[in-house]
Amino acid sequence: MRRSNRFNALLALFASFASFATSPSTAMTVVHTEKSLYRNIVVYEESGERCMSFTRRNQTTRQTCQFLSDPNQFVFTYTRMMMGALYLNPHPRKVLVIGLGGGVLPMALARMFPDARIDIVEIDPAVVKVAQQFFGFNPSPQIQVFEEDGRVFVKRAGKSGRQYDLIMLDAFDHEYIPEHLLTQEFLFEVKALLTPDGVLAANTFSSSRLYHHESTTYQAVFGSFYNLRIALKNRIILIKMDGLPPLDAVKANAVALEEKLKPLGFGGDWLLPLFSTERDWDAKARVLTDQYSPSNLLNTLF
């Protein structure tokens, strides 16, 4: 009797989990697996870390990791770089984070700024559940989660007149940022949500052909930005609506925030040297739009 496609897919999924858990080169323990409408979620522990990964089509990427010995300390380089946004606005009162993962960024912000209001947008309810169950994410009156598409939320928020002092774009699937969250039209919608001195931090990659197109797109919408880049890894774009503060002002804010950042495992000595306004991209690269955003073709190594 011929097995159904659904049955075969489930067998493949369980087989991938099994090989994922018993790789001979690592001592890895799978803590939890879950299949949602959007992805397969795996929570595993390895080398003193607990991580959340998304798997689909034989691809696996780590979305969140925590040190088991100190869950508050940042594991990933990009999360440290994202906190550079605070060097541009050290006292955010209203924050929007698009993309939850394990909730590392919003929980850190909540500890640093207990009076701030933090809105989080996450399309996948399963990710919210896993973040709460395994990564210490804790929604509260201060931290509100909206389970919907990030673009839909931004459109509705714009129509209702919401504004934020700090917006963090951190929405990823197993491959990259969803195409409709890369375009000029989307960024103009995000721009409308920022207060006059608001700050935008966007997590992107630094080592694909998309780098040039993303750079020209952000420049077309916002003008100059701080470009924090680590070769072959992450790139963080930092924008301030009333203009980029000079490096002297950035350094002064870094000094003021040093004690708050220490528990996260880094400080200004590591983060400040990454700040740059150098344009290291092809200025002629085509701007990404709702009609032209082929990230599946452009997201390949240089």
Instruction: Tell me the residue ranges of DSSP E strands in the chain.
Output: 29-35, 40-46, 49-56, 59-67, 94-98, 117-121, 143-146, 164-169, 194-205, 226-229, 234-240
Q: In this structure, which long-range contacts are made by residues 49-53, counting pairs with CB atoms below 8 Å and at least 24 apart in sequence?
A: 49/75, 50/134, 50/135, 52/101, 52/102, 52/127, 52/130, 52/131, 52/134, 52/135
Contact residues for 242 (Cβ-Cβ < 8 A; gap 6+) = 196, 197
The residue written with tokens 């929980």 in the block is 107
The set of catalytic residues is 170
